[in-house]
Structure 1
């Protein structure tokens, strides 16, 4: 399994970003870390190992991007409006820099996005905001309501980065073409959020799979889910 470290300067974030890339060909998949996690977290917790067969056989190329959660949603030292603006810059980095680069590098015209826990939020938010760029969404133990991080403050920037708020009114046709899997567990404290998002998708007649497994909100469950979900990439 090939592994490459990459650092580049993001014009949208005005800072350097770190990333690990696994594989040399295949469907490009952007994999987010959990809350305030670093780019090496999914390797350290062996989520990448669970995908080794798909990487070794050239079916996926995985881009493990860094988070800036500590400067955005988790930053209690700035106003919630600034937390949202900081996240918007991160979203622009993904949309204008990383996703196009990954598509160009692999020769595939869409990306897959995935993440565990708060990484599931990042994956879902990006997929639903930019469905024209995303072919597959795999959330594992995801959270989808960002209002818990905004101290009661609410504006359009928060609305348009809160999937349970903006998705009901979003009618982009590519939403109905996306492969969407919401993975959770029967004892996952995020299960209700996954059921809530699933119900929104049902109301819009968007095909998806709400996968509820035995277990808790933890890596052993996610390591079982991830290779299963990768097997659905066509």
Structure 2
């Protein structure tokens, strides 16, 4: 598979963002890493290999990016309000800097997003905050309530990055056109969070798929099994 290391300076973050682009042509799918993960994580844990067929047949281009967790959700040395603010800058980097590049490069109106564990939160939160930019959203083994990272702090910024809170009130026609898959497993400790998110979407009449695998836990083998099946729904 064609691989290309890229970096660009983010005006919002004030630093270089690194990424691994897998594939030289195809539909762009941004892959968010797990907690504190790096851009090479999806390759190292063979998530990239699980969709090799789509990449080699020039249907799919993976954009594996760095997380911003070390200065946001996991930055325990910072005030919780600052953590949320920093995540907001990361969100703007993706929305206002990365996605426009991909729209132009790949000649698409909307991109896809995916992620495992906390990366699944990142994918879903980004998709639901920017439904005009996202056509496909795949979360695997994710939970979606970020209040656990905020030590009791809660403000307007936190609300608008906490999908279980803002989604019941969100209105956008693009939600109903989005391909949404919530993936979990019977013994995944995040399973209940996926049921709760599915209930929110059901109450709003937003089409989606809740995929609960009968075996498996919160781990890469389950996610590697899910990922190619989910990717196939793009085409």
Tell me which interval the TM-score lies in, with the shorter structure as reference length.
Answer: over 0.9
Corresponding residue number in structure 1 for 2:158: 158
2:217 aligned with 1:216: yes
Corresponding residue number in structure 2 for 1:228: 229
Partner SS for 2:216: strand
2:194 aligned with 1:194: yes
Partner SS for 1:47: coil
Corresponding residue number in structure 1 for 2:65: 65
Corresponding residue number in structure 1 for 2:83: 83
Partner SS for 2:74: coil
Corresponding residue number in structure 2 for 1:203: 203
Aligned equivalents of 1:106 and 1:147: distance in 2?
Answer: 36
TM-score normalised according to structure 1 size? 0.99
Aligned equivalents of 1:117 and 1:94: distance in 2?
Answer: 19
Corresponding residue number in structure 1 for 2:54: 54
Aligned equivalents of 1:135 and 1:160: distance in 2?
Answer: 20
Q: Find runs of 4+ consecutive structure 1 residues off by over 4 angstroms.
A: none
Corresponding residue number in structure 1 for 2:114: 114
CA shift digits 1:162-195 (9 cap, x unpaired):
1111011001110010000000000000000000
Aligned equivalents of 1:7 and 1:98: distance in 2?
Answer: 11
Aligned equivalents of 1:47 and 1:137: distance in 2?
Answer: 16
Partner SS for 2:13: coil
- Please list every run of 5 or more consecutive structure 1 residues that lacks an aligned counterpart in the other structure: none
2:134 aligned with 1:134: yes
Aligned equivalents of 1:141 and 1:101: distance in 2?
Answer: 29
Partner SS for 2:132: helix
Written as runs of structure 1 = structure 2, the 5 A alignment for 1:2-13 is: 2-13=2-13
CA shift digits 1:131-156 (9 cap, x unpaired):
00000000000110000000010000
- Kindly tell me the number of residue pairs found equivalent between the two proteins: 234
2:59 aligned with 1:93: no
Aligned equivalents of 1:197 and 1:100: distance in 2?
Answer: 28
TM-score normalised according to structure 2 size? 0.99
CA shift digits 1:43-80 (9 cap, x unpaired):
00000000100011111111000011011011110100
Partner SS for 1:136: strand
- Please list every run of 5 or more consecutive structure 2 residues that lacks an aligned counterpart in the other structure: none
Aligned equivalents of 2:44 and 2:143: distance in 1?
Answer: 22
Aligned equivalents of 1:195 and 1:59: distance in 2?
Answer: 31
RMSD: 0.5
